[in-house]
Amino acid sequence: MGDEEAKVKPWTHFYWDIFANTCWPFDEDIVTCGRNQGQFQYEDAELSGAHCEFSIVDGKCFIKDLESRNSTYLNEKEIEANTPIQLKCFDVVIFGRQIIIYLDENIFKVQTRDDILESIKTNIENENIYNEIKNKTLVFMKGHHPRMIIRKKVQVLENKIADAYNIKEEKLSKYDEKAKEIADLVEKHKAKIAQLEEKIAYVLSEKDKLAAKIDPQIDALHAQVQDLNDNYESLEEKTTV
């Protein structure tokens, strides 16, 4: 096979990611998918680093599992590792939590297919084309793979639950921040409060010292008054005699 024949014909093979609601054309002979290797990488703990690969050979598309720890599934059946299997339009490939549908040019049942392919080539986000693929894909999935529809709904709900937890955490964290501000304010004023308490204790101590100093003087005056009263009574008795 010559180099020209070996090259992938552009825009005749498509990779439809159900969860991402996005369609990409295969523009390379080999496309690897995994957790941290390949052209398509997913934040998915169920995936191996390089999990599986799509390849285009003689204009045909194949899927191959790369000895992944959780396997790759074609139309809900586990496939053997390192064994390429040819895909046909609407085949469902599952790896980890990802659901991929293989599409080829047969998805476009219109006379102006070449014009549509040219449009994809110039604008991969063409809304009409995507809507056509999406609608036909969902109809096919509901008829042939109803469990996958449930799986998608579960994934959507799990994403909503995760979002709800994140929103909850974000809102509750504001209360934690406010409580910390108050705690920091209390901590900040603890030293000042301690200083004021020391001043109060000092003032009361000085008060006690002053009282201890004045009380003897008052007692002495009381004693003098008592002496004078005693003298007064003594003189009064002598006068009456």
The residue ranges of every structural domain in the chain are 8-142
Confidence tier at 110 by pLDDT (50, 70, 90): very low
Percent of the chain with pLDDT over 90: 15
For residue range 164-196, what is the model confidence (pLDDT) as tens digits? 888 888 888 888 888 888 888 888 888 888 888
| HEC string for the chain | CCHHHHCCCCCCEEEEECCCCEEEECCCCEEEEECCCCCEECCCCCCCCCCEEEEEECCEEEEEECCCCCCEEECCEECCECCCEECCCCCEEEECCEEEEEEEHHHCCCCCHHHHHHHHHHCCCCHHHHHHHHHHHHHHHHHHCHHHHHHHHHHHHHHHHHHHHHHHHHHHHHHHHHHHHHHHHHHHHHHHHHHHHHHHHHHHHHHHHHHHHHHHHHHHHHHHHHHHHHHHHHHHHHHHC
For residue range 52-86, what is the model confidence (pLDDT) as tens digits? 999 999 989 999 999 999 899 998 789 999 999 99
Of the segments 61-65, 86-90, 109-113, 232-236, which one has the largest average pLDDT value? 61-65
Architecture of the 8-142 domain:
Sandwich (2.60)
pTM beyond 0.85, yes or no: no
User: What pLDDT does residue 237 have?
Assistant: 65
Confidence tier at 4 by pLDDT (50, 70, 90): very low
